[in-house]
Structure 1
Amino acid sequence: MGISSEVKDDIFIRTIVPNIFTSDYEDSNSDSEEDYLESEFEYKSNPTLENYSDNNKIVIQHLTSTSRELVGLQVWRGAFLLGDFILHHVQQFKDKNVVELASGVGLTSIVASKVAKQVVATDVNRGNILPLLESNIKKNSACDENKTCDKVKVCELDFFWDNYSNELFKNLQDSDIILAADVVYIESVTRNFVKTLRQIFQISSKSKVCYIAIEKRCEAKKGGEIIAPMFEFFESCVQELHNAEINDKKVLVEQLSIDFPKYFVYTRVAELTLWKISYG
């Protein structure tokens, strides 16, 4: 324990019941199962959604504090920002193949599944991250009697990998849209996240667009100067992709406005940023 998402302080998180993991999910290095919460996150639907409703809810099991290695077990504001973006730009995501990198508890992937043709939610196989991601996907998806969800599947993907399984390779090749939320917290992860984006572009001749939600987390130096070293490092890494040519396609990087409507109830702080990386 030690790192807490800022969402923890937002009063909208409503605990329903503690999550009790089955023995299949237990891991000697994970946090105590009694610490897990199950929360409802309500959102307004865009009327262009096929299954439009004024009272939509996503149910997520999560932690409110973890070690640095297990931050994917928490809910982060960037996931809500991407959720808002998807719900406001339904036509951009309709019938598309979407891959989310570092999906965490799966909130953004679940939102995308309401619009996209198929969603592949990926993360590292560490602690309870993948089992919890699979559990949340099933909880919010239309699954058959064998608990197989047709629109969303979960795959392991580590930013530090240089090679991918055949299944993951094909999913990355076929993707139209890549999503990622709050993947910046240490330099090595940020550097390898950008390396992963470059690898995804390199293995596919298909044009793609990537949307990244990042919160600019500031700190004060001893002299009182306010700095955001991890955010600045992220900016420098993604700018290295700008105007790069991969497979005869140009990569373009731009920061987008976040003045679109809120569909989820959360604190959209000024430090939240949204980035678009286009390939082709």
Structure 2
Amino acid sequence: METNNTDTTPKPSSLRWKILRQALLRRYSLQNSDDQSRIRISRRATHGFDLIPSKLVDKVPDSRDVRVCYTLPVAAGCRKLLLTQRVDNSTADLTDFEICNRYNIDNTGLVCHWPSEDVLAFFCLSHVDMFRSKRVIELGSGYGLAGLVIAATTEALEVVISDGNPQVVDYIQRNIDVNSGAFGDTIVKSMTLHWNTEDILDIFNTFDVIIASDCTFFKEFHKGLARIVKFLLKSTGPSEAIFVSPKRGDSLSKFLEEIEETGLHFSITENYDAEIWKRHQAFMNGGDSWPSYDKDHCYPLLVRITL
């Protein structure tokens, strides 16, 4: 019997951001106020694996931003990256959601520094040879920690740090500028890249390595994400995409179905780094540092995708 797997009805959880945007924008449109800053939405701060030590340096005057210093444990000694990002307990203005609606994107890149990005950055630090002399692009980068780590530590030929949200790309570019002295001869660029775009001829068939963290949650973006991976990977010589992503119900498996339909191949590894696995096991055993830890939603699997 042939099973119909074409049902793409979004789950309630995957509609959360869209519903929130629409409801709040509608609420604002009914008010006679020119001050959008009066209507704010609380943000959800998260726990994390704390694999790369970080500390707050200062708050950017007259803004919702802070500067955070990340200390990278590398063989040649500690290196530091300074990232500007939104303060974890800050709020989101309605303009954030208006931009999401305008560009058909989600707002998660501005919400907080997500745990999977920390895991991806640490994995890249542990596998620097994978990126040496390669052209690399990070998709859905948020504040760009993993891409910046690669640029600062691996002697990659080029690193492009991309996101579909132009607000996020502004943060990425600021973080590239302030850390430019750490990149050596590596070319580092920011890019606004929507996964459904048709205008990618200048980067088609270009990259040796694609990286991404926690980019598979929203099912409505799966087809575009799978397609952009296939278009960006270099077809001559070895190339691969490295995703770290929790299962989050069936969202990861549904994305991998799209990967197969696109003609790509994948492998999944659960235990791919001793330190990451050790922390995962500690959280599973009830560690106080992450009391709400749930394997399905919190632990990122390693997915390697090839042509």
Give the equivalent residue in structure 2 for 1:6: 46
Give the equivalent residue in structure 2 for 1:223: none
Q: Does 1:215 align with 2:246?
A: yes
- The answer as to whether partners of 2:212 and 2:244 remain within 8 angstroms in 1 is yes
Greater Rg over alpha carbons, structure: 2
Judging changes above 3 Å, is the alpha-carbon distance between structure 1 residues 13 and 2 closer, same or farther for their aligned structure 2 residues? Answer: farther
Deviation at 1:275, TM superposition (A): 0.4
TM-score (norm 2): 0.65
Give the equivalent residue in structure 2 for 1:134: 173
Deviation at 1:259, TM superposition (A): 3.8
Q: Does 1:156 align with 2:192?
A: yes
- The answer as to whether partners of 2:48 and 2:115 remain within 8 angstroms in 1 is no
Judging changes above 3 Å, is the alpha-carbon distance between structure 1 residues 19 and 7 closer, same or farther for their aligned structure 2 residues? Answer: farther
Alignment of 1:32-47 (within 5 A): 34-45=63-74, 47=75
Give the equivalent residue in structure 2 for 1:25: none
| Candidates 135, 139, 160, aligned match of 1:120 | 160
Q: Which runs of 5+ in 2 are unaligned?
A: 1-40, 101-105, 284-294
| Candidates 117, 120, 145, aligned match of 1:79 | 117
Deviation at 1:267, TM superposition (A): 6.9
Q: Does 1:184 align with 2:212?
A: no
- Structure number with greater CO (CA < 8 Å, separation at least 6) is 1
Deviation at 1:4, TM superposition (A): 2.8
Q: Does 1:198 align with 2:251?
A: no
TM-score (norm 1): 0.71
Deviation at 1:109, TM superposition (A): 0.6
Give the equivalent residue in structure 2 for 1:256: 269
Q: Which amino acid aligns with 1:118?
A: E
Deviation at 1:9, TM superposition (A): 9.8
Q: Distance in 1 between matches of 2:226 and 2:192?
A: 17
Flag the structure with higher helix content.
2
Q: Which amino acid aligns with 1:236?
A: E
- The answer as to whether partners of 2:270 and 2:302 remain within 8 angstroms in 1 is yes
Q: Distance in 2 between matches of 1:156 and 1:111?
A: 19
User: What SS does the aligned partner of 1:4 have?
Assistant: coil
Q: Does 1:88 align with 2:126?
A: yes
Give the equivalent residue in structure 1 for 2:58: 17
Identity %: 19
- The answer as to whether partners of 1:99 and 1:179 remain within 8 angstroms in 2 is yes
RMSD of Structure 2 on Structure 1 (CA)? 3.2
Q: Does 1:101 align with 2:139?
A: yes
Q: Distance in 1 between matches of 2:267 and 2:113?
A: 25
Q: Distance in 2 between matches of 1:88 and 1:162?
A: 34
Give the equivalent residue in structure 1 for 2:256: 235
Deviation at 1:125, TM superposition (A): 4.2
Deviation at 1:35, TM superposition (A): 2.3
Deviation at 1:183, TM superposition (A): 1.0
Judging changes above 3 Å, is the alpha-carbon distance between structure 1 residues 93 and 80 closer, same or farther for their aligned structure 2 residues? Answer: same
Deviation at 1:101, TM superposition (A): 1.2
